[in-house]
Structure 1
Amino acid sequence: MRFGFTEDQQRFRADVRRTLRSAEVRAAAEQATGAAGVEPDARPLYRMLGGLGLLAVHWPVEFGGAGRPLTDAAILAEELVRAGVPDTFHVNTIQIVGQFLLMAGDAEQKRRHLPALARGESFASVLYTEPDAGSDLGALRTVAEPDGDGGYRITGTKVFSLKTRFVDLGLCAARTTPTAGKYQGISLFLVDMRAPGVTVSMIPGIGDEHFHRVELDGVAVSAADLIGPRDEGWPLLNEALAVERTGLDYYLKAERWLDTALEALVDRDPDSAHAAHLEQIGRWHGALTADHSLAWEVLTGLEAGRIDQLAAAVAKYHSSELAQGIAAWAADIPSPDQRANRTRPAKILDSAHREAPGLTLSAGTSEVMLHIVAAAFDSLP
């Protein structure tokens, strides 16, 4: 268990924080932040961050990183969110797809894709979820059929991915042997999102970030776009999902929303507006402290080469439920005047209330996380 940060980690955090406080970065972050259902293009901000070397610090230097520890990448993620940088591009491109390539991609795939991702010149998204499959990837119906020339043609529908209309690559799960068992015969591909046969449309929703529907109609991919062995995608997905479920990104949302609620309370009445909420504020802070420890327990394990499915499930469940709870509570904090004047806290908390319902669904539902925990206890002697 981690109870503090090393001097080197503290110096790194201070350097990152100093850079992110520059007027240029702050202005770009403000322009990239969505509000009232409008989703701006955040790619210019990420190109700036890539130029500053603040996207993939833990990747090897040859792939555009700085060769720093994975735990420093977590420190960077914390400071990006605290500086007001919208985090979806970073989570999807660097923490999920890029990390998956580092873990499972071959040398050529890494050379071909990782440097551009690290520079903020290319972006990626995940194409797992399907209309009738939901969180159960064993029920996916998308198929990748051999084209006779060593490549494949992918056909199917994917839903609920974020930022997809802006991205260049999709990490797609498809069945390469449909007659195999439920969790067999699945393969993973990198799909060019500008390729013929790819159609991206928005799904109506209440959040400031828009979900998308992706239709894949015989999309051509080469053998070089297959990640890992054919039909062996399920074990890779299990490892990748554990890496994705550190809980850190949800913790950071919860922290930001609680801080914003406190800001709204002080703006309402600096002397006494918060008095009626003191007990609940204390409980939220206690839960956030526990949440941070859970996330860093997973992160330090990953740094040491340990993938703990149980710890990741606990961290993801606790952090997403906590963030959702804080967002629901904070929705009633802004006063009518703050809402009417669209103050900064009122806008952030309104956006949080609309975003929060999806947090306990993404990266695996809360029910799936509880199932993982229950299964672990069932296996005890």
Structure 2
Amino acid sequence: MRFGFTEDQQRFRAEVRRALRSAEVRAAAAEATGADGVEPDARPLYRLLGKLGLLAVHWPVQFGGEGRPLTDAAIIAEELVRAGVPDTFHVNTVQIVGQFLLMAGNDEQKRRYLPALARGESFASVLYTEPDAASDLGALRAVAEPDGDGYRITGTKVFSLKTRFVDLGLCAARTTPGAGKYRGISLFLIDMGAPGVTVSVIPGVGDEHFHRVDLDSVPVSGDDLLGPRDEGWPLLNEALAIERTGLDYHLKAEHWLQAALDALIDGDPGSSHDDRLEQIGRWYGALTADHVLAWEVLTGLASDRIDQVSTAVAKYHSSELAQSIAAWAVGIPSPEQRANRIRAAVTLDSAYREAPGLTLSAGTSEVMLQIMAAAFDSIGQEEH
């Protein structure tokens, strides 16, 4: 169990903080932050972060990284959020699709895609969820039909983020229909500018927009198959566990609680807010535990240990905590006049609209509970 950081990690964190305090980064982060349902283009900010070498430090040098440990990448992720950098591009491009390429891609695919992702010159999104499949990827219907040396993919994907800004999609599709619910699924890298790809916005209340992606016989080459054909399900299971560190949700919870405290102070600077102190203390205690859970998963991943139960616990706890803090903060008064709204109030307004989706993405809370329950049931059977 980790309860502190090494001196090297603390020095590295200080270096990252200094880089993120520059006037150029602060201005770009402000321009990239959405509010009131408006989603700006965050790519200029990420190109700047790429020039500073702050996007993929744990990747091998030959693929655009610095060969640093995964824990250093987690430190950067923490400091990006604390510096006001919207994190979705980082989560999707680097932490999910980039990590998937490192895990399952061949050397040619890594050389083709990873350096541009690390420089902030290219961006990626995940195309898993479908209108009738919800969180059950075993119910997906998108089909990849053989076409010469490649495939043509047809289907519809929903609820992806930043998709209208990205160049690359990691898509799950069936290459052997009828093989079984969790069999015959393959993974592909799709050029989002290819013929047959149509991206549209799904109306919603969040500042980040969900998208619908219609794939109409989209051509992909055999070189765009990621991992073995029909072996997508085991890869997806492993990748989802890596995705569920809980750190990104923890950082949202931390950011939203700080915004709530700023709003309290701004609303009544002279008050000690005694009626809220107990709950605030409970939130801080929960955040501390949440941070330990996330870093327990991260240190395991850094040692090539993937524990499905630990990741489910971390994801469940962090997403539920962030959602609870956002709901609690609704009771904090804020100025009525939009022109007078402080930054904290804008953040909390955005948080309330974003929070419901946190317990759905990367696996619903119900799925996380099922994973935990199955593990406990297995332990009980072994004891008897």
TM-score between both structures, scaled by the size of structure 1: 0.99
Q: Which residue of 1 aligns with 2:15?
A: 15
Question: Would you say 1:59 and 2:38 are equivalent positions?
Answer: no
Q: Is the 8 A contact 1:176 1:231 kept in 2?
A: yes
Q: Which amino acid aligns with 1:253?
A: K
* Counterpart mapping for 1:336-355 below 5 A: 336-337=335-336, 341-355=340-354
Q: Which residue of 1 aligns with 2:166?
A: 167
Question: Would you say 1:278 and 2:277 are equivalent positions?
Answer: yes
* Counterpart mapping for 1:137-216 below 5 A: 137-147=137-147, 149-216=148-215
Q: Is the 8 A contact 1:265 1:273 kept in 2?
A: no
Q: Which secondary structure state, in structure 2, belongs to the residue aligned with residue 379 of structure 1? A: helix
5+ residue gaps, structure 2, are none
| Residues 1:321 and 1:263: Cα distance change in structure 2 (over 3 Å) | same
Q: Which residue of 2 aligns with 1:5?
A: 5
Q: Distance in 1 between matches of 2:368 and 2:118?
A: 31
Q: Distance in 1 between matches of 2:333 and 2:44?
A: 32
Q: Is the 8 A contact 1:334 1:345 kept in 2?
A: no
Q: Distance in 2 between matches of 1:13 and 1:58?
A: 14
Q: Which residue of 2 aligns with 1:121?
A: 121
Q: Distance in 2 between matches of 1:146 and 1:213?
A: 24
Q: Which amino acid aligns with 2:369?
A: L
Q: Distance in 2 between matches of 1:335 and 1:182?
A: 50
Q: Give 4+ residue runs of structure 1 displaced > 2 Å after superposition.
A: 334-340
Q: Distance in 2 between matches of 1:105 and 1:87?
A: 24
Q: Distance in 1 between matches of 2:304 and 2:161?
A: 29
Deviation of 1:274 (Å)? 2.4
Q: Is the 8 A contact 1:338 1:346 kept in 2?
A: no
Q: Which secondary structure state, in structure 2, belongs to the residue aligned with residue 359 of structure 1? A: helix
Q: Which amino acid aligns with 2:249?
A: Y
Q: Which amino acid aligns with 2:239?
A: A
Q: Is the 8 A contact 2:334 2:341 kept in 1?
A: no
Q: Which residue of 2 aligns with 1:39?
A: 39
Q: Which secondary structure state, in structure 2, belongs to the residue aligned with residue 160 of structure 1? A: strand
Q: Is the 8 A contact 2:242 2:301 kept in 1?
A: yes
Deviation of 1:272 (Å)? 1.3
* Counterpart mapping for 1:130-141 below 5 A: 130-141=130-141
Deviation of 1:378 (Å)? 1.2
Q: Deviations over 1:195-219 (max 9, x none)?
A: 0000000000000000000000000
Q: Is the 8 A contact 1:57 1:72 kept in 2?
A: yes
Q: Is the 8 A contact 2:153 2:215 kept in 1?
A: yes
TM-score between both structures, scaled by the size of structure 2: 0.98
Q: Which secondary structure state, in structure 2, belongs to the residue aligned with residue 261 of structure 1? A: helix
Q: Is the 8 A contact 1:33 1:86 kept in 2?
A: yes
Q: Which amino acid aligns with 1:179?
A: G
Q: Which residue of 2 aligns with 1:265?
A: 264
Q: Distance in 2 between matches of 1:179 and 1:361?
A: 28
* Percent of aligned pairs with the same amino acid: 83
Q: Which residue of 2 aligns with 1:97?
A: 97
Q: Distance in 2 between matches of 1:182 and 1:285?
A: 43
Q: Is the 8 A contact 2:176 2:230 kept in 1?
A: yes
Deviation of 1:379 (Å)? 1.1
Deviation of 1:273 (Å)? 5.3
Deviation of 1:150 (Å)? 1.4
Q: Deviations over 1:152-207 (max 9, x none)?
A: 00000000000000000000000000010100000000000000000000000000
Q: Which residue of 2 aligns with 1:70?
A: 70
5+ residue gaps, structure 1, are none
Question: Would you say 1:315 and 2:320 are equivalent positions?
Answer: no
Q: Distance in 2 between matches of 1:92 and 1:29?
A: 18
Q: Which secondary structure state, in structure 2, belongs to the residue aligned with residue 10 of structure 1? A: helix
Q: Which amino acid aligns with 2:355?
A: A
Q: Distance in 2 between matches of 1:338 and 1:364?
A: 38
Q: Which secondary structure state, in structure 1, belongs to the residue aligned with residue 359 of structure 2? A: coil
Q: Distance in 1 between matches of 2:333 and 2:58?
A: 39
Q: Distance in 1 between matches of 2:282 and 2:359?
A: 20
Q: Distance in 2 between matches of 1:28 and 1:305?
A: 35
Deviation of 1:337 (Å)? 4.4
Q: Which residue of 2 aligns with 1:107?
A: 107
Question: Would you say 1:376 and 2:375 are equivalent positions?
Answer: yes
Q: Which residue of 2 aligns with 1:225?
A: 224
Q: Deviations over 1:122-143 (max 9, x none)?
A: 0000000000001000000000
